[in-house]
Amino acid sequence: MSSADSDHPSARAREAAEAAHPSAPAGDDPATRPTVRLRPKAGRRLSAGAPWAYADELVMDRRTRKLAPGSLVELQDAERAPLGLAAFNPDSVIAARLLDEDPAARVDADWFAARIARAQRLREALFDAPFHRLIHAEADGLPGVVIDRFGDAAAVQPNAAWADARIEALVDALVRVTGVRTVVLNGASRARRAEGLEDGVRVLRGGLDGPVPTPMNGAVYMADLTGGQKTGLFYDQRPNHAFVARLARGGRMLDVFSHVGGFALAALAAGATHALAVDGSARALELAEEGARRSGVADRFETRRADAFEALAALAEEGARFETVVCDPPAFAPSRQAREAGLRAYRRLARMAAPLVAEEGWLTLCSCSHAVDAEAFRAACAQGLRAAGRRARLIWSGRAGPDHPVHPALPETSYLKALVFALD
C-alpha cells in the first residue's frame, strides 16, 4: 500500500477493523471492506462471465497477502472500477470467487437463504421428492459449496474458505428454507485441502441413526452421510443409471466401481436377471447389499470385493460374460499433471472390460475427471475398444443430471462423462 493509500480514511478504518479482529475474515462489514485489484490486461475470463480470478491475475501486494483466507473483498479492475463482491483466499490458485454483483452486499443468513431458495425452486421443478443435489457451487451462486439433500437430512461440503468461515449462517439459512432437521458437514475433499482447510466430518444439526434410505430410479440406495464417500451418494449419475437400466432388462450385468450399488441396483429394479457389483470398499458393498434387500432384489444381487483391474482379469479367466458391463471409476486424472496417466488408465479399462461383454451387448464407460475433456475421453475409450478387437457403436453420451447445473462460463465444471457403446 502506498503512503497515499494508507492515509485515506477508509483505509485507516479497514486497518483498525482488521487489527481489532485479526483472526476473523475481513470484509463482513461493507463499510470496512478491503479492495483487491486485477492486474492490467488480466481477468479475460472474468469479463466473459466466469466467476473466478486466479492469483496471478491479481495485484498481490503485502496488504493483499495478509488478508485472511475467506475474506470478503471489493473486486476492482485495473482502473479501480468495482466489479463486485468477491471471496478472497491468498493461499488458493483460485484467489477470488465472485459472489455478488453488488460490492456492498452483506453476506449473512438472509443472503444465503435467497440463493438456497432459488436453487430449491429449480429442484422442485425437476423432482417429486427431496432427494437430489440442492446446491452445485458456482452454477447455483455459491462458489465452492455443495449441498446434497436426503429427505429430512442434508450433507454440506463447504469447499472454499469463505463458506467454511460462514458455515453457521449457511446452515441457519439451509434449515430455514428447506426445513431439514439434520445437517452434516462433510469436510473431506481434495478441494478443501487446496483451500488450506482441514478435513473432518461432523453433525451440525440434529442427528442420524445410520445411513439414510434414498429412493432413486426404482431402487433404494443407502447413503452414509457421516462415513461414506463424498456426501454419501452420487446423484450425478441418475439419468445414466436410468438409461443403462433399460438396456440391462432381461440379462446379466457387471457393475465395476459400484460404490453403494450404482448402476446395479437400478438395473435390477428395471428387470436385470442378475447383477455383480465390484468395489474395493467392504463398507460400500455392505451398503449396496442393504440397498438390494430394501429394493427387494437381493436374490439377484452379488458382490465381490476386489481391485477393479484385478477383478476384470479374473472374470476374463473365468470366461464370464455379461449382457451389460459398466465401469464407473473415481477420477483417474484429478489434475492436469495426471492427465496422460489418466488417459492410459481409461484405455486400459476399456480394453479389459470389452471382452466381458456378450455379443450384441452393452458397455458403459464413465469418467469424472475434470482434467480429461469429453473428446479426449471418447478417444481413449475408442482406442481401448480397438485394442480389445471389439466393434462398437456409441449410442449415448451422458453427463451429470439437471440437479448438477453447469455455469455457462465454466465449461470445465461439466465434469461427468458417460459413454454407452453397443458392441458386436
Q: 203, 209, 212, 208: which is closest to 184 by C-alpha?
A: 203
What global pTM score does this model have?
Answer: 0.91
What's at 20, amino acid-wise?
A: A
DSSP 127-144: -SSSEEEEEEGGGGT-TT
Q: DSSP states of 227-263 as a string? A: TSSTTSS--TTHHHHHHHHHHHTTSEEEEES-TTSHH
pLDDT of residue 312: 98
DSSP 8-state secondary structure symbol assigned to residue 146: E
User: Which residue in 264, 266, 280, 155 sits closest to 216, CA to CA?
Assistant: 266
CA gap 10, 74 in Å, rounded:
13
**N-to-C CA span, the chain:** 68
| Mean pLDDT, contiguous 10-residue spans, the chain (424 residues) | 39 41 62 95 92 96 94 96 96 95 96 98 98 97 97 96 96 98 88 84 95 98 89 95 98 98 97 98 97 98 98 98 98 93 98 98 97 96 98 97 96 92 97
Query: Residue 228: its pLDDT value, please?
Result: 76
Any catalytic annotation for residue 368?
yes
Domains and CATH numbers, the chain: 3-100 (2.30.130.10), 109-205 (3.30.750.80), 212-423 (3.40.50.150)
pLDDT computed for residue 263 by the predictor = 98
With contact defined as beta carbons under 8 Å apart, do 163 and 148 qualify?
Answer: no
Residue from 327, 366, 368, 381 carrying the catalytic annotation? 368
